[in-house]
Amino acid sequence: MDVATLRRAVTVGLVGGLAVWHLSLVGMVQAFQTRPIITNYVSFGELLPVLVIPIVGFWASGSRGATSPRSSAGTVMSGAVAGLALGAMIALLCFFIEALHPNGMLINATPPLVQDLRIGFDTLPGTLIQLLGGAAIGAAAASLRIVPPTASRIFVVAAGTMLGFGVMKNLVFQLLSNMGFNSGATFLYQGDGLSLPGALVLFVGTAAVVWLWATRSAGVVSSYRALPRQNRQIAKIAAFGVAAVVIVLLPTVLGPFLSDVATTVGIFILLGLGLNIVVGFAGLLDLGYVAFYALGMYSIAVLTSPVSPAFHPQLNFWLALPIVMLIGAGVGLIVGAPVLRLRGDYLAIVTLGFGEIARIIFLSEWMTPYVGGANGIQGIPAPSILGIIFRDQPGSAPGGVYYPLLAAIVIAALVARSLYNSRVGRAWAAMREDETVAEATGINTTVYKLLAFSLGAVFGGVAGAFYAAKIGVVFPQNLDILISINALALIILGGMGSIAGVLVGALVLVGLPGILREFAQYQLLIFGAVLVAMMLFRPEGLIPNRSRRAELHEADEEPAEGTGGEEAPGTVANVSRLVTESASVRTRPGGSP
Partner 1 sequence: MAMVRRLLGLHERLSVVDVVLALLRIGVVVLVVTGVWATLNKGTFTLKAWESLAVSGVALGAVYALIALGYTLVYGILFMINFAHGEVFMSGAFTAYYVAQWLFLSGFLAQNPVVAFLIVLLVAMLVSATIAVVLERVAYRPLRNAPRLVPLITAIGASLFLQNTFRGLYGAGVKAYPSWPMFTGSLHFGDVEIRVTQIVVFVAAILLMLGLYWFIERTRTGRAMRAVSENKDVAAMMGINVDRVIMTTFAIGGLLAGAAGILYTLLFNQVLFSMGFVPGIKAFTAAVLGGIGNPVGAMVGGLVLGVLESIGPYLLLDGFNIPTPNQLTTVVAFLVLVLVLIFRPTGILGTKDAT
Closest to partner 1 by CB, 339 or 437: 339
CA dist 355 to 288, 376, 479, Å? 4, 17, 8
Distance separating the N- and C-terminal Cα atoms of the chain: 66
Our finding on whether 113 is near partner 1 (CB under 8 A) is no
Among 342, 389, 473, 543, binds partner 1 (CB under 8 A): 342
Under rule CB under 8 A, which residues in 161-190 are in contact with partner 1? none
Which residues have a Cβ under 8 Å from the Cβ of 434 and sit 6 or more positions away?
A: 570, 572, 575
Cβ proximity of 303 and 324 under 8 Å: yes
CA dist 386 to 389, 396, 397, Å? 8, 12, 12
Nearest to 199 by CA among 159, 254, 235, 232: 159
SS (H, E, C) 51-92: HHHHHHHHHHCCCCCCCCCCCHHHHHHHHHHHHHHHHHHHHH
Supply the angle between the helices 149-167 and 44-60 in degrees, to the nearest 10.
160
Among 64, 343, 386, 387, binds partner 1 (CB under 8 A): 343
Under rule CB under 8 A, which residues in 383-422 are in contact with partner 1? none
Cβ proximity of 141 and 59 under 8 Å: no
**How big is the CA angle at 183 (ends 182 and 186), to the nearest 5 degrees?**
85
Closest to partner 1 by CB, 106 or 250: 106
Q: How far is the CB of 539 from partner 1 (least distance, A)?
A: 6
Beta bridge partners of 194: 38, 189
Our finding on whether 337 is near partner 1 (CB under 8 A) is yes
The number of beta carbons lying within 10 Å of the beta carbon of residue 218 is: 10
Our finding on whether 364 is near partner 1 (CB under 8 A) is yes
Nearest to 184 by CA among 6, 66, 195: 195
Among 19, 26, 66, 473, binds partner 1 (CB under 8 A): 26
Among 106, 132, 146, 389, binds partner 1 (CB under 8 A): 106
Q: How far is the CB of 30 from partner 1 (least distance, A)?
A: 10
CA dist 207 to 158, 161, 204, 211, 214, Å? 5, 9, 5, 6, 10
Closest to partner 1 by CB, 440 or 535: 535
Among 283, 399, 476, 511, binds partner 1 (CB under 8 A): 283
Q: How far apart are CA 194 and CA 191, in angstroms?
A: 8
Cβ proximity of 312 and 302 under 8 Å: yes
Under rule CB under 8 A, which residues in 493-552 are in contact with partner 1? 522, 524-525, 527-533, 535-536, 539, 551-552
DSSP 554-571: HHHHGGGGGG-SSPPTTS
Q: How far is the CB of 252 from partner 1 (least distance, A)?
A: 37
Our finding on whether 270 is near partner 1 (CB under 8 A) is no
Beta bridge partners of 207: none
Site pattern 39..78 for partner 1 (x: CB under 8 A)? ----------------------------------------
Among 4, 73, 100, 107, binds partner 1 (CB under 8 A): 107
Q: How far is the CB of 291 from partner 1 (least distance, A)?
A: 11
Q: How far is the CB of 482 from partner 1 (least distance, A)?
A: 9
Closest to partner 1 by CB, 122 or 365: 365
Among 67, 69, 99, 105, binds partner 1 (CB under 8 A): 105
Q: How far is the CB of 481 from partner 1 (least distance, A)?
A: 8
Cβ proximity of 347 and 285 under 8 Å: yes
CA dist 348 to 79, 232, 351, Å? 43, 45, 5
Our finding on whether 573 is near partner 1 (CB under 8 A) is no
Closest to partner 1 by CB, 77 or 114: 114
Q: Where are the alpha helices (DSSP H) in 179-284?
A: 182-188, 196-226, 229-275
Q: How far is the CB of 81 from partner 1 (least distance, A)?
A: 23
Q: How far is the CB of 523 from partner 1 (least distance, A)?
A: 9
Our finding on whether 4 is near partner 1 (CB under 8 A) is no
Among 191, 344, 379, 591, binds partner 1 (CB under 8 A): 344
The length of the chain is 593
Closest to partner 1 by CB, 173 or 527: 527
Beta bridge partners of 389: 384
Closest to partner 1 by CB, 382 or 427: 427
Closest to partner 1 by CB, 356 or 581: 356
Closest to partner 1 by CB, 188 or 348: 348
Which residues have a Cβ under 8 Å from the Cβ of 115 and sit 6 or more positions away?
A: none
Closest to partner 1 by CB, 3 or 555: 555
Closest to partner 1 by CB, 17 or 193: 17
Among 163, 185, 258, 287, binds partner 1 (CB under 8 A): 287
**3-state DSSP assignment of residue 193:** strand
Under rule CB under 8 A, which residues in 437-496 are in contact with partner 1? 446, 481, 485, 488-489, 492
Closest to partner 1 by CB, 472 or 539: 539
Closest to partner 1 by CB, 53 or 534: 534
Closest to partner 1 by CB, 285 or 412: 285
Q: How far is the CB of 477 from partner 1 (least distance, A)?
A: 14
Closest to partner 1 by CB, 268 or 466: 268
Largest distance between two CA atoms of the chain: 83
Q: In b/e form, how buried is each residue of 276-293, taking b as 16+ CB within 10 angstroms?
A: bbbbbbbbbbbbbbbbbb
Where does this chain touch partner 1 (CB under 8 A) — which range of 22-30, 118-126, 165-173, 220-228? 22-30
Our finding on whether 349 is near partner 1 (CB under 8 A) is yes
Q: How far apart are CA 540 and CA 550, in angstroms?
A: 9
Q: How far is the CB of 312 from partner 1 (least distance, A)?
A: 23
- Applying CB under 8 A, the residues found at the interface with partner 1 are 22, 25-28, 105-108, 283, 285, 287, 334, 337-346, 348-350, 352-354, 356-357, 360-361, 363-366, 446, 481, 485, 488-489, 492, 522, 524-525, 527-533, 535-536, 539, 551-552, 554-555
